[in-house]
């Protein structure tokens, strides 16, 4: 069976699944339950030195649901821990003693002054924790106080604070990056310049998920008022994957270890993050949606897939997809696909025809000779994949690759301006 044991920047855990710094890791009771369920590690909910952290006593979460009521996005306005620092540190120390094989990383956020960081680092070291994570990503509450994403959006601040911490502790330092920035490579480079051992991303996306049209206030609504919060869950996964890939393929940060975060719900999600360069993954919303035992499905699923594909350990999948991420201008425009409808699976709903007719290339016909029947017009199909995306039946419509610019089903040439892409003048890698 595949070996899921993980060693991330020297921190060992029995599997690559960690709980992210969030409400599920706020106290020992939760963390112990997580370890009993099988989680490989946790990042303890963010600690700070401010004794006056007060969270709202009303709704802290806003949700986005799919049509079948599945939770696809969660908005969070909760601040860092409001529990006393001493109690948190005592609990961290005890849990690490009781669970020495599990990873415990402590998330930190204090005012942007060197002494503040030095003071809290000394206290965290005494717990025996495996490392620290600098929270430069929280987009609400603390950013308004000059912490969180207000630091993470300024590369110079990231480098400065990271350097302070590296000079003040021997613990591994992970820098948690905010997605609320135009180019994630610059904060990652700054973290590396400051001496970071790794980065983790993404933190939550600044958001308002909905408006209560009765009270006319954003959700979650607190006595008729609302605030922007941090968005997480399956909906942010595409954003997270792109940012992980951007760091992994950047020449300056290509060797910087990455802990992947953002909408990881299944083993497949985790495998995708690791294939794009993440050394391990952190999970929050899935645990808050399904409970801690969801990790058992992640572990089993990843093991079975790795066995099936012949991957003996995590190193054999980490970064495997990164070389295949490229800029648009390097894509092969001579690669041509056409949509194919499996008539045995088709339920004749007509969605493919409607969207292609109204919004794409009028490449799907509708025959009404006693019943609905849909066929692809090969000459008009540009292989855009929209019909596949909207079809409610899995694998009913597939994209079939054409060879040598000829449609094998009709033996007719496919008109393509870029047929000779390797020598086309628009190709920056042209060989002519």
User: Which residues are marked as active site?
Assistant: 138
Residue written as token pair 């921190």: 11
Rounded CA separation 29/10 (Å): 26
Paired tokens of 390: 């909207």
Burial class (CB in 10 A: 0-12, 13-18, 19+), 133: buried
Radius of gyration of the chain from its Cα atoms, rounded to whole angstroms:
25
Sequence-distant (≥ 6) Cβ neighbours of residue 306 within 8 angstroms: 2, 4, 312, 316, 317
CA distance 68 to 313: 37
Distance from C-alpha of 236 to C-alpha of 234, rounded to nearest angstrom: 6
Distance in angstroms (rounded) separating the CA atoms of residues 9 and 195: 13
Round to whole Å and give the CA distance between 51 and 231. 26
Q: How far apart are CA 130 and CA 348, in angstroms?
A: 57
């Amino acid at each position: 069976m595949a070996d899921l044991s993980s060693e991330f920047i020297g921190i060992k855990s029995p599997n690559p699944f960690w709980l992210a710094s969030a409400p599920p890791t706020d106290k020992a009771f939760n963390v112990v339950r997580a370890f009993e369920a099988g989680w490989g590690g946790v990042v303890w909910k963010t600690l700070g030195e401010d004794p006056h952290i007060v969270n709202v006593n009303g709704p802290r979460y806003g949700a986005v649901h799919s049509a079948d009521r599945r939770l696809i996005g969660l908005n969070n306005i909760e601040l860092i821990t409001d529990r006393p620092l001493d109690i948190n540190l005592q609990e961290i120390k005890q849990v690490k003693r009781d669970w020495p094989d599990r990873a415990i990383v402590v998330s930190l956020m204090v005012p942007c002054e060197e002494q503040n960081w030095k003071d809290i680092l000394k206290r965290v070291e005494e717990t025996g924790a495996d490392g620290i994570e600098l929270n430069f990503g929280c987009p609400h509450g603390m950013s308004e106080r000059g912490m969180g994403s207000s630091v993470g959006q300024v590369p110079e601040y990231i480098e400065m604070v990271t350097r302070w911490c590296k000079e003040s502790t021997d613990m591994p330092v992970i820098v948690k990056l905010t997605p609320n920035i135009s180019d994630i490579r610059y904060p990652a480079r700054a973290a590396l310049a400051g001496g970071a051992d790794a980065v983790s991303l993404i933190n939550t996306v600044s958001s308002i998920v909905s408006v209560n049209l009765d009270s006319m206030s954003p959700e979650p609504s607190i006595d008729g008022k609302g605030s922007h919060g941090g968005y997480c869950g399956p909906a942010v996964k595409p954003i997270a994957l792109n940012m992980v890939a951007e760091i992994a393929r950047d020449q300056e940060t290509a060797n910087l270890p990455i802990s992947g975060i953002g909408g990881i719900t299944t083993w497949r999600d985790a495998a995708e993050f690791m294939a794009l360069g993440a050394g391990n993954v952190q999970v929050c919303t899935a645990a808050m949606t399904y409970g801690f035992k969801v990790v058992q499905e992640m572990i089993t699923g990843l093991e079975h897939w790795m066995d099936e594909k012949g991957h003996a350990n995590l190193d054999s999948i980490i970064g495997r997809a990164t070389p295949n991420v490229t800029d648009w201008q390097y894509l092969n425009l001579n690669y041509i696909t056409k949509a194919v409808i499996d008539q045995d699976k088709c339920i004749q709903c007509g969605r493919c025809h409607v969207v292609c007719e109204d919004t794409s290339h009028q490449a799907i016909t509708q025959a009404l000779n006693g019943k609905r029947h849909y066929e692809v017009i090969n000459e008009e199909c540009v292989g855009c994949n929209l019909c596949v995306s909207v079809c409610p039946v899995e694998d009913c419509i597939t994209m079939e690759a054409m060879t040598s610019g000829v449609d094998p089903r009709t033996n007719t040439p496919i008109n393509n301006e870029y047929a000779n892409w390797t020598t086309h003048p628009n190709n920056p890698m042209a060989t002519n």
